[in-house]
Structure 1
Amino acid sequence: MPVYSMTGYASGQSGPAGGPPEADIKAAAAGRLGVEIRSVNSRFLDLTFKLPEELRQHEPTLRELLTARLKRGKVELRAAIDSSGAAAIADPSSKLLQRLNGVQDHIRAWLPGARELSVADVLRLAAGDTSTRNDWGPDLSDLAAKTLEDLVAAREREGGRLAKMLLDHLALLRGLVAQALPLVPQLVEQQRSRFLERWQEAMGASGGTPPDAAQDRALTEATAFAIRIDVAEELTRLGSHLDEIERLVKKGGEIGKRLDFLIQELHREANTLGSKSATLELTRIGVDMKVLIEQMREQVQNIE
């Protein structure tokens, strides 16, 4: 499965499309429908709808449409009706014309001097009649579905770029782990020997010969110190986390929360590595690791 970003944008419009003149006139009279969907990262799925009053009743349908395809992200759907062309071309229904004609006959029967309705009167009355308005439900559903598909495609493209970046950073981190591993046994033995040398120098300066018990204690303390600065376990766990992140990225799907947890674990191990570091070389490696992990953390927060 692909990796999806939570960041994306798509828009679409419906209206006259070069069909029969009658259909174009009817579409122009009804207006043009526009839909746009934008999304950014969020811990959960957070939906916002900005709809005109004519479309407010369709919000449950739109919500169901979005929740079926999206799992995480702060998503905003906007819809609007451009009726600039509708005012120029009215499309009174037959039912309205019959009703106006009946009302006119009834009024003139009681008021013979009343003038007849003009075409302008009819168009003005038709503009305020709900029976002439378009039922936007089917058009809105179709357009929203198409726009959602475009949004999902945009999120997939962005997710592919994020996945590539993560895999590249994983390779760099593996390289740093490979640099650090040979330094560990050498560093432990070096620090152990240095501790014993300094202890023996201190005992020699005091003019005494250390008893066997004191030598054993010094050896025990030197070993304990060597264990405290041993970062082999941290490097092993780092490698294990890197393997799991790579597996998830290649698997794809809804992996954002799991990746976020693993990035935190990587950060923890890199911090421990830095705090245990007893050489400039290991300190440099730890700093480089934390820089890469922080870059990964920022991008992982955009993955669904």
Structure 2
Amino acid sequence: MPLISMTGFSRADGEQGLARWHWELRSVNGKGLDVRFRLPPGFESIEPRLREELGRHARRGNVQASLTLDRAKTAAPLRINQDALAAVLGAIRSLRGEVELAPPSPEGILALKGVLESAEAEENEDERAAFEAALVSSFGVAAAALAKARADEGRKLETVLREHVDEIERLTRQAAASPVVSVDAMRARLKAQIAELLGASPSLSEERLAQEAALLATKADVREEIDRLIAHVAQARDLFASGEPAGRRLDFLTQEFNREANTLCSKAADVSLTRIGLELKAVIDQLREQVQNVE
């Protein structure tokens, strides 16, 4: 299983009866799984089911999920508001005792505000539950599509990461092959440094001289850092091949890479080794930037 990116986009359309909708999901990198929903009013109750569904497809990332809903309506049946009609007819009878009126027409009475009204069909509980289930099912399709998009992006991302790790290995082996890292070169530098130390402080005791020599030898030897870098390269490749979410472990590993590269630069006794160390740091920074997108 390749690495999975936390970056992706998906869309799923659905319909039921006269209702039409579409889901849009967008994902970017994040420390955990953080989901923000944009739902039409009245549909907040389905959010827990949506979160559970998304959790089946993603472990990390900042996800924005929006639902656009269009519930087209048929022409609602009309009904007479009996209370409003009674009030209108009562008013007409009252006026006839006061003024001479022509008989009112039925259409005129029905045209009065409030007498004729639409009878909206009410959605029962079963219909509401079926509609919400259809929305959740459609969201599941969008979540699966998002997972696929993230996996596709992850395959591309893994190629880039492997190239960075290959370059880190190349530079590390170049440092290991440098003449200044050889035992003979380190022995010559140590001998010169001890001679310089004795010239500056001829009265140094043998014990103090041994301590200073050990310290100088430690500072001059970069073979331990090179060995650790090679080990980290192998560990990174193991994580690529593990088939498990590796983003956090790769992020930690890049910190270890960077620590060894810094130490290599600080110990470098030659301009060429310093240059290699700086190139290493540049590649490691690129690796770490890309690792931030790995789930």
TM-score bucket of the superposed structures, by smaller chain: 0.7 to 0.9
Deviations along 1:117-137, one digit per CA (max 9) or x if unpaired, are 79xx9x9725x5433997431
Change (3 A) 1:248 1:91: farther
TM-score, normalising length from structure 1?
Answer: 0.76
SS in 2 for 1:295: helix
Equivalent-residue separation in structure 1 for 2:205 and 2:165 (angstroms): 47
- What is the deviation of 1:220? 6.1
Equivalent-residue separation in structure 1 for 2:30 and 2:274 (angstroms): 34
1:90 aligns with 2:74: yes
Aligned residue number for residue 20 of structure 1: none
Equivalent-residue separation in structure 2 for 1:80 and 1:192 (angstroms): 73
SS in 1 for 2:37: strand
**Number of aligned positions between the proteins:** 270
Report the residue type matching 2:147 in the other structure: V
Deviations along 1:256-299, one digit per CA (max 9) or x if unpaired, are 11111111111111111111111111101111111111111111
Aligned residue number for residue 148 of structure 1: 143
Change (3 A) 1:217 1:124: same
Aligned residue number for residue 79 of structure 1: 67
Q: 1:226 aligns with which of 204, 217, 222?
A: 217
TM-score, normalising length from structure 2?
Answer: 0.78
Deviations along 1:212-250, one digit per CA (max 9) or x if unpaired, are x87896576345312222111111111111111110111
- What is the deviation of 1:47? 1.2
Q: 1:130 aligns with which of 109, 117, 122?
A: 122
Matches within 5 A, 1:16-35: 27=17, 30-35=18-23
Q: CA RMSD in A?
A: 3.4
Matches within 5 A, 1:118-197: 125-126=118-119, 128-131=120-123, 135=128, 136-183=131-178, 184-185=181-182, 186-197=184-195
Q: Is the 8 A contact 1:3 1:156 kept in 2?
A: yes
1:70 aligns with 2:68: no
Q: Which runs of 5+ in 2 are unaligned?
A: 91-103
Deviations along 1:187-211, one digit per CA (max 9) or x if unpaired, are 41231132245457x48xx9xxx79
Aligned residue number for residue 46 of structure 2: 58
Equivalent-residue separation in structure 2 for 1:230 and 1:222 (angstroms): 12
1:252 aligns with 2:247: no
Equivalent-residue separation in structure 1 for 2:38 and 2:4 (angstroms): 25
SS in 1 for 2:43: helix
Identity between Structure 1 and Structure 2 (%): 35
SS in 1 for 2:230: helix
1:14 aligns with 2:18: no
- What is the deviation of 1:149? 1.2
Q: Which runs of 5+ in 1 are unaligned?
A: 16-25
**Which segment is superposed worse, 179-188 or 5-14?**
179-188
Report the residue type matching 2:148 in the other structure: A
